[in-house]
Amino acid sequence: MIDIDKILKILPHRYPILLVDKITSLKPFEFVGGYKNITINEPIFLGHFPSKAIYPGVMIIEGMAQAGGILAFYSAYGDKVDEAEKLVYFMSIDRAKFRSMVRPGDRLEYKLEVLKHKGKVWVLDAKAFVDGKLVAEAELKAMLGDNDDNKAKK
């Protein structure tokens, strides 16, 4: 398992756009599982929608991408690199489908598998579930790269 302290070292995201609370399973070069607890306190619910809070699909996709970024990072570097020197860049979304609403009180579970990995580019099959029910899916592409901002500071 990877807890929030380690997630904060790997991902550059912070509130309100950090969308992974915990990584529950990870096998380098193969798969990752994690989750985000959806609460009514999410700032997105101020506008989406005030009369019926529905977690936006774009946020589900971003959460899956962040979990996939952790998978790519750990697969490539493990603990051998200073996390501040590397970033995972989101490249594309294909075949996105939203199958059910996600509401406050739901635990949004991410499950991603590696479809292809070549060099620094990763293609991932991403799925999101609530209570075992598929709520969203997509094929995501990401690339590992250097965090040029932090290299310049050294």
Catalytic (active-site) positions: 48
Question: Which token pair is 4?
Answer: 């929030």
Asked whether the beta carbons of 43 and 16 are under 8 A apart, the reply is yes
Asked whether the beta carbons of 29 and 114 are under 8 A apart, the reply is yes
Helix (H), strand (E) at residue 113? strand 107-118
Cα dist from 34 to 47, 51, 90, whole Å: 26, 29, 18
Backbone angles phi, psi at 149, to 5 degrees: -60, -45
Residue with tokens 């939203």: 98
Q: What is the CA radius of gyration of the chain?
A: 15
Whether the CA torsion 67, 69, 73, 75 is positive or negative: it is positive
